[in-house]
Structure formats: C-alpha cells, structure tokens
Structure 1
Amino acid sequence: MVRITRLISWVIIGIILVSLPNVSSWARNVPQLPPTTPQQQQPTQLKQPVVPSATARGLNDPQELEAFTDSIFNEEMPKSHIPGAVISVVKDGKLFFAKGYGYANAEKKIPVVADQTLFRVASLSKLFTATAAMQLYEQGRLDLGADVNQYLTTFQLQNPYPESVRVAQLMTHTDGTTKRRIGLAARTAAQMQPLGKYLANYMPPVVRQPGRVYDYSSHSTTLLGYLVERVSGIPFTQYITDNILQPLKMRQSTFLQPPPPDLAENLAVGYQYRNGKLQAVPYLYFNIAPAAAMSATATDMAHFMIAHLMNGRYENSQILKAETVQLMHQQHFTHHPKLPGTGYGFRERLENNMRMTGHLGSLRGYSSSLTLMRDRNIGIFIATNSINGVHGKFLSRFLDHYFPVTQQPEPLPSLKLSQKQLNHFTGTYRDLEYPRHTFVKLTAPFEHMNIFKNDDGTLQIRTPSFFFRGDAPSFRLLPVEPLLFKRTEDDAFTAFGEDSNGQIAFAFNPLWPKIGAYERIPWYETIGVQLAIAGFCVFVFFSASLMWLVRPLIDFLKGKPFLDRQKFNPAWMIAGLISTLNLVFLIGLPLSLWLIGAWKLVYGVPAVVVALFCLPLVTTPLTIVLALLTVLAWRNKNWSLGVRSHYSLVTFAASIFIPFVMYWNLLGFQF
C-alpha cells in the first residue's frame, strides 16, 4: 500500500512539473466560450451631435444607398477581417436593395450572392420562434398568460418562487432562468437530441423572481419552441417550414441542420481570424434549434421583414393578423421609461430620436442583425461569416446619413448629488447574462464593470481593459433623477434599481444600445479578491507539497532517512497530498480547457475535465482530517512552533479553498 501511495504521489508531482511552464502562456490566452447568443456587442459609439446632410433626404435612391453601403463595407471588412457579408433593405413592402460582399468560401473564392448564399443567422431564429408562438396565440391554442408548466408533461421548469413563469415572459426574457453554455450543440446531426429530451435534462432553473429583470437566455426561446411543438402536435422545424417559410416564399431558408443538399452547397463557411489568418470553424449542430439553428439568404430575410412591416402580410399570404403584429412590436417590458425595452421576441433600439425593433445574432463564425423602423416602413438585414460589430457601425452611420437629428430634445435639468449620495451607486457590477449554475460561471468576470464617482458630482463607468479587445469603453453619467443618469457623451440614459432594503442592486443599460441589466456584487465577489484567494492557496499549497511531499520523497529515493519519521509521517502525508491534489486541479483545469479548446464545451465536458472534478471531492473530506491533526499538533506540541504555524497555514488555505470552489461551482459535477 505504501508503494502504491508513493507511485501515485510521483505521478501527481510529474503532472504539476509538466503543467507549471504552461501557466504563464495560458494566462495570456484566456480561453473563451463561443458566443451562441446575440450578446456579442460593440459599446455604444461616442459621437458628436449630428449635422444634417445637405444631400440626405431620407431613403429614396437605391443606387445612392449602394454607394453608401459600398463605402462602409469596403472600409470595415478588411479592418475587421470579415471574409463575406450581405445586406438586404426593404421599404414600403418591397425589396429596396440587396447585395453581397466578399466570399462565402474564402479558400475556393466563392463570392457572396444576396439571393443564393445562406448565412447562419443565429439568434435571429428567435424571431421566427416568437412568430410561431403568436400564430398559436391567435388561434387560441397558446395562452400567453398561462403558467409554462401547464404545457409540460414529461418535465417541469424548476421554479423556487411563488410567481409562475408565464409564456409571454419567455419572449421578453423575464422568466428568471439563467444561461447555459455546456452541451447545447452536437458534433453530428445523429447526435442531436430531440427538444423534449434535451430540455428535460438541461433546461436551466429559474434563479430570479419572474417578471422582475431582463436576463437573456437562449434556453427560454428553446422552451418556447418546444411549446410550439407540443401545442401544435407538429415537430418544431416542420411547423416553421409549413407555417412561416413556405407562406413567405422563403425557399432558400431552413431550420434543418445541416441544410438540405440543394441549400447546403450555398451555405457560407464560418470563419474566425486567428494567428494572422482566417480559419474555417466546424458546423455546430444545435440542440437549441428554436433559438439558433436557422440558415437563410438575405432576400429571404427581406420577405420576413416585409411581413412584419406590412402587418403580417407578404404578397398574398397573411401569417399573422395586423393586431397580433402590433402586439409583438409593442413594448412589454423595460427597466425604466427612458430606456429601451423589449416586445415579444423583438427588442427596442433607441437612437437618433427613433424607436426601432429587431434582434442581433452571433455564433462561432457568424454574426447578423435585423432592424425594423416600423414608422418609416424600412427594414435592414445584415449577415457576415465571422463575428464582428459591423452591423452596429453600419446602422449608426445609416441613421446619421439618412435620418440625422435636426433638433435635439430639450435637455433634462441635472440633479445635484452629494459625494455621500454618489457612494450609493459606486461599486463593481456584473452582467446578469452569465451561467449561474455550472462551472462556466468562471466566465462571469468577463462581464464585470466598475462605477466610480467623480469630484464634479458625476459617475464614471469603466470596464477592465483586459476584458475588451481594443479600447475599453468608459462613460460619464450625469444625474437627472434620483435613479436616472444621462451619459454626457451622447443622448443615452442609464438607470439604477433598488432592492427591498432601498440599496442599489442593479444598473440598467450602462454600456449597450439594447436592453440589459447588471447586478451590483459585494466586495468579496470581485475578481481582485477572488484572484487573491486563488493566489494565496496556490502559494501555500505549493510550499506544502514541496516541503511535506516532494522533498521527503526525494530524500527517500536517495536513501536518506525521513526527519522525525514517526512524528511527521501521517500528518505531512495528508497535508502534502491535499495540497498536491488541489494544485493539480487549479492548474490542470484551465490548462486542459486551453489545450482541448474551451469552446468545445458546447459539445459537453471532456473526460479529462470530468476526472479533474473528482479531485476536490477527495480533498474536501480530507481537509476535515487535516483540521483535526492541526488541533492535535497544537495540543501535543510535538513539532516546533514554525512547523505548527506552517501546518496551520496549510489547513487554513485548504479550508478557504472549499467555499472558493463551491462559489465557482467547481465542487462536484455541476455541468
């Protein structure tokens, strides 16, 4: 038994020695999960008040629009390493302009063609799922105010709150569920799971009171798609084809994964720019099809935009009643009257004194946007075969060119707040859109921002620069109401929300031009404190492993006797083993994810990572033994004061390591 223990110990030591040289390089290349939601954003661009153009009289000339669009895409595509892009614009119920740019397949030099090239539109799929749900609502088969669990028979939505989750809240993302990133895709079509089976096993729980805040989740829409399937009695993909795609003559579009052979040959290849070159990414087979699976051409998407702009009608087909379309595009939730909110599926964007509705989409290798200006009967669809922010830049420049602000609204009077009052708003805030119930909670620090107070009575928003590519956004906030601030750089607002005790708990729309919420976190949850805890544990564990496991084993192999073997042997072996196993876990987990590719968690958790999660389960009960040995050491005084102090330090590090791994969902198999 002793020999086996020694062998295991040497294997663990070998893992540590191999891992250590890679830690610094991993720190410079933090692995990030692929976006599977439309939250890939660019900060709101800072801009001076717009001067009206003498030549821009609204959108009237397709050729002028083509020249305008050419200038933007020709500038942005090389700068952002975009291989291919497409745009379609509709106006007054007709296709106004459509054009492809660059390559659908960069290796084969296949150009993008607006009415032939399919792009994966990611979360724009949610708009089709919401449209399908509203069709069933029209027919009286789906009650928007009903409890979601009323329609579920094989599983139930886990909800600890007395308030039920309503069907409508799935479309406004106020159902209170959290985000999930593990296992949402398959490697092949054969490995995809049926909606009911997947959701029964992987639907995230409700973690917030339903109806209180906006918290975007692709699984909310996936559940809505499953309700469409359950209520209609038709497989979801078939329902969309029969009731939306065919009536709208969207013959080059599909939710099938992969697309049928006649469409698959025209599917744009997704790319990422890495190490100075474009690299094709593998096709993701989504288990969350209602939220992300659609592929479409720009001209087909024009048909969908026309239907929503023309009160449900495209040519001779009526997919929704006029009142239902209006209901979808009404604001059904907002955090503050002056902030953008959300309708059913469609989210608001407020810019240039205009209200627009639409959605964004991004997944590994693709990004897209759909924007409707219903009061002007204009729709814009943009898609690219890489992740980038060109759609946001185009829309801002489009609005400034064709619909410039000719008269600024009357400015709100500022509110004077004391430095003490400003203290109520300062602190670190975290985007609500992160996975709360799995170990991918480790990505949450990438969603942090800090709010400071300035001497002039304003607040300053800053984001950690190493969390953003390029310049980190920073905004100055001027108080205009007790819980409302105006950004001094533009005409956008940021609001704050209080908890039941009157303390500031949320910041709404601090960075992006669409609805969003950040929660204020206590000091011990900030990344600085968490990194300090991790660094302290690594330092102590390394010293214990070196002193009480590595050095004695080396001495033993050299034939040297252990110092005070009878007194030290059981105690230091346990301390050294706990420290070594915890070190292997702390180093091995990020190292293995980096080597394997963290984005592959979308397929599930690799076996080596599962094995690593066994280590805290071993060290946690051993830490109790370690604590008892520490008490005995001080009571019996068998060791010197220095040895006892070091041993106590190891016990302390092992003890705080337990709540540390619990906080990050690293204790047990939480995935």
Structure 2
Amino acid sequence: MRRSPSRRRFLAGIGAASTAALAGSPTSASAARPPAPTKQPLDSDIERLVDELVETSLAEHDVPGASIAVVSDGSRTVTKGYGVADRTTESPVDPEETPFRIGSVSKPVVATALMELVESDVIDPDADVARYLDVPIDERENEAVTLSDLVTHRGGFESTNRGMWIPNEDDLRPLESYLRNDPQRRVRPPGRIGSYSNFGYALAGQVLAAHADEPFHRAIDDHLLQPAGMTTSSFRQPLPSSLAEAHATGYGPTERYRQGEFPLLGLRPAGSMSATASDMGRFLELHLNDGVLDGERVLGRGTIGAMHERWATHHDRLSGMAFGLIEKFRGDVRTLWHNGATLSFYSHLVLVPEYDFGLFVSFNAPAGSAAATDVVDGVLDELLPNPETASRTPDGPPHRADEIAGTYRSTQRSHTWHDRVTSALNAATIDVHFEDDGTLVTDRDTETERWVEIEPLVFERTDGNRRIAFGREEGAIRYLFYGGSPTAFARVEGLDRLSVHGMVVAATVLGTLSALVGWPASALYHRVLTGGESAPQSWQTAVTNDVVRAKLLAIGSIGVLYVSSFTIVVHFLATPLVVLSDPPTTFRALFVGTSLGAVGTIATAGVAGYGWICEDWDLFTRTHYAVVTASLVGICWLLWYWNLLFPPGLV
C-alpha cells in the first residue's frame, strides 16, 4: 500500500529523532524538515565566471584538465571541457565525449534509481533490507538494517578497504561475490550513528540488481542511465571499449592511468561510474526539473522531491542527509552535494534547489580536490547571498564542559580487517578543549576553530556559520557531530589511544632488544672472563643448560615476530592496493611467521613460569626473562589489536 506524503516525511525524520535523543535534545519530524524552497532568480554571467575560476584553478594546482556542467533555470547553461584529457597526446577535454571517473558522485546516481523504486512502492525504505537482498547481511542483536540506513550511512558497518581497489582486471569478481564472501562487520547498531560506508552503498546497489535480476551495471543502466539519455556514462568494469578509448587519463600520485586502465572497484555502486560532463548535466537537469528531461517524464512525479527531503540527521539543530545527498547551508540557503575521489580523479556535484541551480565539476588528478573547492566555492559565493556573520562570545561556562573535553576520532575506520592500523592513522582526529572564557576550541590537523554553546551540548562557530553537537551514550558524552557530515566522531579512550600504543611499542622494543643484544653480549663477556671455552664445550653447554635453552626460545620467538612483521610491511608497501583490498596468497602466507611467533610467545611464558620455581635460575635471570616475556606478549597484543597476528579474514 502506498505511503502518504505525511507518512514519508515522518519516516524521513525518524533517524534525526532517535539520534537527537542521544545528544540530549528533543526533536520532531517537522523540526527536522527543511522548509519547502521558494525559487529565487540568478543574475550573473555564469559562463564567464566558470571560465575564470576553472582556468585559474588548473594553473594554480597543476591539474591537466576539467569537465564542467552547469544547470540554471532548469536547463544547461554551461557544458565545457578545459585543459587536456591526456598530457602526452594533448587531446582536449570534450564535454560530450570524454568520460571522467566520478568516484563517490556515483552514490547519488544509485540513490536516484533506488528512490524511483521507493516511490513506486516496490521497496519500503524502512523495512529490513535483507528482504530484498540475495546475499547475507550481518545481523547483530536482531536489529535490522534498512535501505534508508544504508543510503544515509547509518548501517552500522565498519569501514575497510576490503573489495575496493582491484588493479588487475582478471582479479575482479562480481559484486555479489564481494558482498557474499567478503562481508564487512556491523560494529554498532543501525540507524543512529553515521559512518561513511562504501560497503553499505554496495549493499544498496545490490538491492537494485536483485530487483532487476541482473548484474548491477546492467540494472542501473536499464533503470536510469538509458532512460535519462546518459549514453556516455557507465558503471561497467572494465568500461566498454568506446568509452575506455575516449576516457580522460587519470594522473595519480605516482602513476598515470590511460584508456580506462585505472584500478577497478569491487564494490561497484560505491564509486565505479565514469561519465561525461554532458551526461552529468542531464543528471542535474533531472534533479532540478522533478524528473523531467527534454519535456518527457523520466522519473515518477514526486521522486526527486522525496529524495531531496532530509532523511537523517545527528541532531535537529544540525544539517543532515537527504537520500544520497549531503545537506549544507550557506546562510539560509540549503544546498545538496556529494563529492568523489579516486586515485587519479576528483569530482564534485552540488544542487541549490531554491535557486534552480546545479553544478558538476570533475578533474583528472587528485589535486582536483583543491581545484574543485576553488571553483565550487567561487561560483556559490558569487551567485548566492553572502551568509550573515555574527561574532559570538560565551555568556557562561558550557554545559558538562569537563565531560566534553578530549580527543575524538572519525568512526569511519576498520575494526576487523588488517587495514585497521592504516585506517586509524588516516582517520580524522579532533582535539577538544575549552578556553578560560568558556569558548570551545577544536583542533583538527592544522585547522583551529572556536565555538560558543547555544544550547546544552550544541555549539555554533563564533562567526555563526556552522554548528556541532555532542551525543551521549549510556549517560556519557561519546560522540561529536559536525553539521552536514554523515560521519560522527567517537571519543578516544583507554587502549584506543594511539599514545598508549606508542608507549607499548617503545617498551616492547627496549625489552626485546635487551634480549637480542644483552644476552649475546653477556655470553661473550663471560667467555672472555673464563679465558675462552672451546666451541664444542660451548655447544654442549647450550643444549643442556635450561637457562640457555630458554633464552634461545625467547630470541627465536622475537626474531620470527620481527622478521615476519617486517616482511608484511614490505609486501604492503610494494603492492598496497592489492594488500588492502584483496590480499593475495603471498601476503596471507607471511602470517605463518606471526602465528608461529605467537606460539613461541606462549611457550616462552610457560618457561618464564618454570623459571620462578626452578632453583637453578637466580633472581636477576628470572626477572629479566619475565621482562623479555612481557615484551613478547606486548608485541603479540599489538599485532592482535591491529589484526596483524593471523591471516586476513581468519578471525
């Protein structure tokens, strides 16, 4: 039975209501909904502005080329290529013929196709998504994941590189294989705390594929791309030869990728689409004309309106997420956007429904991130009213300040895969403290921002242009939410602190070196004092003396752990994409060493216990051996914590 519009709006706000309760602030569906936009006119020479901004950004950031589409008043105003698609051939970017890899801008394309099914009552976005999938899904504590959870990044999944970048086309498996055989774990309840998830979007895309009973790339092609006339766009991997030959060359940090030979994506719906500016212009038109293109209805009436509604937010005073698009306010003007980064391309899409305006930019180099920021901000600054700024100062001590202060790390991290260490080191981290006057200060990399509390646990930047909020869990402050970000930040405590791991590393290195260096040095010293025993006599002593054998066991365990850990790192540095995404047998085999080291550590711990009851061991030997054993245990704990003790996927 078809849901009424009021029912749909209520469901769209329900994620906001549940999470706002975590933050300790009431909300309602109506409070969480943005007001219906009133169309505003634009008065600017858009093409001249875009030309100036793009050409300047290409030169400033040393980016080869760009592909741009602008839609204003419901029709394309600009569709242009800039620079070159390939530096060697100096072939120009053709907005009609040159596809660019658009990365995660693929996600709103997938969401658009799914919303058509939602509005057609084929799929209930708030039902258990397992009802529509033909692959298993990690169900924990009997809490079902819904399609709206997946599309708003609230499925509760960890974020790993598993199934992401596949350099060799021959190693690429069907999407269903990655979802079935390489699942990512649920690490938190669904529908509450956001964490950007490529795996979640892959599951959402598989809903479309399962409904169509065909591979995902065909399903999205039949359901949206072909009806929308986006004929020079594709999710197919590898690309059709006609698109691959015309594709822009991607310039990565160390390599260039020609004719569509860039690393492929196992989790296709998360970001495998290549598209021309012309096609993305049609996509913008589709969203600004309520699903109508060239005078013909492509999407059901109301599909776009439902998609643009707010579907989730961490707090009713913060920006949130539409269905597949991220919400951001520039003053009182609501924008919907998504970006996408790959190893060699960067893209950004933004919609301003109130102004009937859309912009898509794509660059064929990672530095396109900075270039896109310059272009998008430059265009919106020129076309939209300047946001009003207000200098805010605290009017008293903040609510629960002592509980708020601390370090918060992005929830977009791996928990069970062997890329846990790389994801933690790369995860955005924010330090929070208060100044004497009650101003909250956040330090993130080199950026420092100051905030003033406007209601309990909700803060506004001192210029009035952005908000953050803190969320509670079981009565304690656990989360930091940034307005508009789908990803929350979780408090870092206890053994999750990287500083604790640094101290453990330092202690274990000193302890193991005392054995690796100290024991041979001590043996040499005593040999010199005794006038030098014969080699056979020394060997006989080694194999019959309990202490010597115990030391050899400990040194062997240390050596195995160090050598195997070193070779694991070397293999990763040599083939990082393969190791992170789909580790080969050669990489998995290296974990035989760490596993043997763990067995040796257990044996060493047993010998250390024996040493304390054996009369032949003096107090110094017992104590030192216990320290070395503790260091071995520390190494194994570190490897276990970072999922590097056993082969990937074994635990």
Corresponding residue number in structure 1 for 2:499 = 528
Q: 2:158 aligns with which of 178, 193, 204?
A: 178
Number of residue equivalences: 596
Corresponding residue number in structure 1 for 2:478 = 505
How far apart are the structure 1 equivalents of 2:517 and 2:540?
Answer: 15
Identity %: 28
Unaligned runs of 5+ in 2: 1-39, 528-532
Deviation string, structure 1 residues 50-79 (Cα, Å, up to 9, x no partner): xxxxxxx97445xx3233223322332233
Show the 5 A alignment for 1:296-335: 296-335=275-314
Is structure 2 residue 415 aligned with structure 1 residue 436?
yes
Residue identity in the other structure for 1:403: L
SS in 1 for 2:558: helix
Please report how far the alpha carbon of residue 174 of structure 1 lies from its aligned counterpart in structure 2 after TM superposition.
Answer: 0.9
Residue identity in the other structure for 2:481: F
Deviation string, structure 1 residues 476-504 (Cα, Å, up to 9, x no partner): 2222211111122551111110111x211
Q: 2:624 aligns with which of 626, 646, 653?
A: 646
Structure 1 residues 177 and 578, CA, compared in 2 at 3 Å: closer, same or farther? same
Corresponding residue number in structure 2 for 1:247 = 227
Q: TM-score normalized by structure 2? A: 0.86
How far apart are the structure 1 equivalents of 2:282 and 2:534?
Answer: 76
SS in 2 for 1:670: coil
Is structure 2 residue 69 aligned with structure 1 residue 88?
yes
Structure 1 residues 68 and 454, CA, compared in 2 at 3 Å: closer, same or farther? same
SS in 1 for 2:404: coil
Q: 1:210 aligns with which of 156, 173, 190?
A: 190
SS in 1 for 2:436: coil
Structure 1 residues 325 and 653, CA, compared in 2 at 3 Å: closer, same or farther? same
Deviation string, structure 1 residues 360-395 (Cα, Å, up to 9, x no partner): 111110110111111111000000111223223322
How far apart are the structure 1 equivalents of 2:311 and 2:319?
Answer: 11
Please report how far the alpha carbon of residue 506 of structure 1 lies from its aligned counterpart in structure 2 after TM superposition.
Answer: 0.4
Residue identity in the other structure for 2:345: Y
Residue identity in the other structure for 1:600: V
Corresponding residue number in structure 2 for 1:219 = 199
Corresponding residue number in structure 2 for 1:151 = 132
Q: Is the Cα–Cα contact under 8 Å of residues 181 and 601 in structure 1 kept in the other structure?
A: no
Please report how far the alpha carbon of residue 407 of structure 1 lies from its aligned counterpart in structure 2 after TM superposition.
Answer: 4.4
Please report how far the alpha carbon of residue 440 of structure 1 lies from its aligned counterpart in structure 2 after TM superposition.
Answer: 0.7
Deviation string, structure 1 residues 619-647 (Cα, Å, up to 9, x no partner): 22332222222222222242343332221
Structure 1 residues 614 and 552, CA, compared in 2 at 3 Å: closer, same or farther? farther
Corresponding residue number in structure 1 for 2:178 = 198
Q: 2:485 aligns with which of 511, 514, 526?
A: 514
Corresponding residue number in structure 1 for 2:467 = 493
Q: 1:458 aligns with which of 430, 436, 439?
A: 439
Is structure 2 residue 538 aligned with structure 1 residue 561?
yes
Residue identity in the other structure for 2:214: I
SS in 2 for 1:439: coil
Structure 1 residues 621 and 415, CA, compared in 2 at 3 Å: closer, same or farther? farther
Q: 1:669 aligns with which of 627, 644, 647?
A: 647
Corresponding residue number in structure 2 for 1:19 = none
How far apart are the structure 2 equivalents of 1:477 and 1:406?
Answer: 17
The alignment's C-alpha RMSD in Å is 2.7
Structure 1 residues 564 and 353, CA, compared in 2 at 3 Å: closer, same or farther? farther
Q: Is the Cα–Cα contact under 8 Å of residues 331 and 343 in structure 1 kept in the other structure?
A: yes
Q: 2:451 aligns with which of 457, 477, 484?
A: 477
Is structure 2 residue 507 aligned with structure 1 residue 539?
no
Q: Is the Cα–Cα contact under 8 Å of residues 167 and 577 in structure 2 kept in the other structure?
A: no
Range with bigger deviation, 612-621 or 87-96:
612-621
Is structure 2 residue 126 aligned with structure 1 residue 160?
no
How far apart are the structure 2 equivalents of 1:60 and 1:389?
Answer: 26
Q: TM-score normalized by structure 1? A: 0.83
Deviation string, structure 1 residues 228-253 (Cα, Å, up to 9, x no partner): 11112233222222222222211211
Range with bigger deviation, 560-569 or 307-316:
560-569
Show the 5 A alignment for 1:545-584: 545-548=516-519, 561=538, 565=542, 566-584=545-563
Corresponding residue number in structure 1 for 2:633 = 655
Unaligned runs of 5+ in 1: 1-56, 466-471
Please report how far the alpha carbon of residue 95 of structure 1 lies from its aligned counterpart in structure 2 after TM superposition.
Answer: 0.7
How far apart are the structure 2 equivalents of 1:406 and 1:578?
Answer: 63
Corresponding residue number in structure 2 for 1:620 = 598
Please report how far the alpha carbon of residue 330 of structure 1 lies from its aligned counterpart in structure 2 after TM superposition.
Answer: 0.5
Q: Is the Cα–Cα contact under 8 Å of residues 552 and 562 in structure 1 kept in the other structure?
A: no
Q: Is the Cα–Cα contact under 8 Å of residues 166 and 578 in structure 2 kept in the other structure?
A: no
Please report how far the alpha carbon of residue 430 of structure 1 lies from its aligned counterpart in structure 2 after TM superposition.
Answer: 0.9
SS in 2 for 1:389: helix
SS in 2 for 1:161: coil
Is structure 2 residue 370 aligned with structure 1 residue 389?
yes
SS in 1 for 2:613: helix
How far apart are the structure 2 equivalents of 1:399 and 1:559?
Answer: 83
Deviation string, structure 1 residues 286-337 (Cα, Å, up to 9, x no partner): 2211221111101110101101111111114323223221111100100112
Residue identity in the other structure for 1:324: T
How far apart are the structure 2 equivalents of 1:645 and 1:485?
Answer: 53
Residue identity in the other structure for 1:236: F
Is structure 2 residue 101 aligned with structure 1 residue 130?
no
